[in-house]
Amino acid sequence: MVKKWRQQMKRWMAEKLELPADIMMDLPRITMVGQIHIYIENHRGLLAFSDKELRLLLRNGQLLVRGEQFVIKTILPEEILLEGKISQVVYIEEEKR
């Protein structure tokens, strides 16, 4: 109940103060250019990487990127730039306990 109220309050503040929702809600910001690269900000860490898959930890789940010929061009504590042929981007929501 309290968690839901906090999320509603953050949304309201972001709207009223005209702040970006991704910052207030602690959401990832994903920027894609066609199928060739994806830039992801505000993640919590790299969970898995291969030339066909990237998996990142998010605040409330994971982000899975699938494709071919993946190369990490830039990696910082909360940002990553991935290049290759991207075929799928999936948000995996954390199971509620």
pLDDT tens-place string over residues 18-30:
665 555 557 889 9
CA–CA separation, 89 vs 97, rounded Å? Answer: 25
> Considering the entire predicted model, what is its pTM?
0.76
The model's pLDDT over 52-95, given as tens digits with 9 standing for 90+, comes to 999 999 988 999 999 999 999 999 999 999 999 999 999 998 87
- Which CATH class, in words, describes the domain spanning 26-93? mainly beta
Domain ranges of the chain: 26-93
Residue 67 near residue 82, CB atoms below 8 Å: no
Q: Is 88 left (phi over 0), alpha (psi -120 to 50) or beta?
A: beta
Q: Tell whether the model's pLDDT for residue 96 goes beyond 80.
A: no
CA of 96: how far to CAs of 5, 61, 62, in Å?
16, 10, 14
Rounded to the nearest 5 degrees, what angle is found at the Cα of 55, between the Cα atoms of 22 and 40? 35
- Token digits for 1? 């109940």
CA 22 → CA 15, 18, 69, distances in Å? 12, 12, 29
